[in-house]
Amino acid sequence: MSTDVIICECFARDGLQHEPAFVATADKIALIDVFTEAGFPRIEATSYSHPGKVPAFGDAGDVLAGIRRRRGVYYKATAPNLTGIERAVADLAAGHGANEVSLLASATESHTQRNLGTSRDGQWARIAEMVEAAGDRFRLVGVISVALGCPFEGAVPPERIVEDVLRFARHGVGIVTIGDTTGLGTPTRVAQLFRLLNEAAPDVICVGHFHDTRGVGVANCVAAYEAGCRHFDSSFGGVGGHPTKIRYGSGRAGNVATEDLVNLFEMEGVSTGLDLDKVMIASRLCEQVLGRQLESKVARAGFATSFVEARENA
């Protein structure tokens, strides 16, 4: 199918890190396989976080070894430090590694200290080491947390985000995720930021990663799209956020619900390239694995496919 936007499905990593109970390795593998079948071109599969700090991903290598891969799909793992890169390299050498790896940065000193245990300068030094250790083995993705507001420091100047995107670009990282970590962004500020990024870093793919903490996540996706963004992160059922042991930002920390975002784009005539029937199968499996009803409106109401078909046939 033709595709106007690229959606990265984040349930298996950003989603599950927020769950208090460990999700079985076999269930994670089944979920990722269903995401692949639905047609997602990028899937956030796991994390090389320290198992003692984020136990949800102690099985990272086993998950990557068990999934059924499709040619052309990127299966992403997060590497928070050099040890993470070394684990990613080892899994790749064993024949079952990720083909895309995330490198983490934060827009503020306070969040960097709380989330990464170092200063911003310290983390950028780590990133340089990680890029060197990764070599050309993976497609590297930069991640900038609290890009639209920090729960500790408040507003973040958009110029700082532009500077960080360009800093990633100087390290040869061509994809950078712009994270609204605790849902402090608004459509006006999102549009301003993505216009600045398009002007300052036209060769970098900037990904919109919006949390729906305050109910404006989908609106922020629309604002980013209208400002030129064509790559988005989302999570089935709106699941996810920060690791379960972390408490800040108030409210629910969940991502934009994949089902709702896909429905909106398709209703607007923006192709996601996804099989909508298989997206709904994946949605139901996510609820089954977690044992509860998740927070997607479309999971309850269904896709507005009849509306879309009627518009196309008019």
Reading the chain (314 residues) residue by residue, the pLDDT tens digits are 568 999 999 999 999 988 889 999 999 999 999 999 999 999 999 999 998 888 999 999 999 999 999 999 999 999 999 999 999 999 999 999 999 999 999 999 999 998 899 999 999 999 999 999 999 999 999 999 999 999 899 999 999 999 999 999 999 999 999 999 989 999 999 999 999 999 999 999 999 999 998 899 999 999 999 999 999 999 999 998 755 555 555 545 689 999 999 999 999 999 999 999 999 999 999 999 999 999 999 999 999 976 556 555 65
Give domain status of residue 40, yes or no: yes
Retrieve residue 289's tokens: 């694995």
Give domain status of residue 286, yes or no: yes
> What is the rounded CA–CA span in Å between residue 104 and residue 177?
10
Which string of b and e fits 291-312 if b means at least 16 CB within 10 Å? eeebbbebbeeebeeeebeeee
Q: How many domains does the chain have?
A: 1
Give domain status of residue 65, yes or no: yes
- In whole angstroms, what separates CA 241 from the centre of its chain? 10
- Which DSSP letter does residue 23 get? P
Which amino acid would we find at residue 173? V
Q: Are 221 and 199 in contact (CB under 8 A)?
A: no
Retrieve residue 143's tokens: 């991640």
Give φ, ψ of 232 to 5 degrees.
-140, 150
Give domain status of residue 119, yes or no: yes
Could you tell me the CA-to-CA distances from 313 to 4, 50, 264, 266, 303 in Å, in that order? 20, 52, 19, 15, 17
Could you tell me the CA-to-CA distances from 27 to 12, 59, 97, 114, 116 in Å, in that order? 10, 12, 19, 31, 29
Taking the CA atoms of the chain, what radius of gyration do you get in angstroms? 18
> What is the rounded CA–CA span in Å between residue 265 and residue 261?
6
* Residue 127 pLDDT: 98
* Residue 223 pLDDT: 98
Q: Are 222 and 187 in contact (CB under 8 A)?
A: yes
Continuous H helices in 201-250: 217-226
CATH label of the domain that carries residue 166: 3.20.20.70
Q: What burial class does residue 277 get, using C-beta atoms within 10 Å of its C-beta: 0-12 exposed, 13-18 middle, 19+ buried? A: exposed
**208 CB contacts (<8 Å, ≥6 apart)?**
178, 190, 194, 220, 221, 224, 225, 229, 231, 232, 233
Continuous H helices in the chain: 25-38, 60-66, 82-93, 109-116, 120-134, 158-170, 187-200, 217-226, 258-267, 276-290, 297-301, 305-313
Retrieve residue 212's tokens: 């729906």
Give domain status of residue 174, yes or no: yes
> What is the rounded CA–CA span in Å between residue 187 and residue 100?
29
Give domain status of residue 149, yes or no: yes
Range of the domain at 37: 6-313
Give domain status of residue 252, yes or no: yes
Give domain status of residue 1, yes or no: no
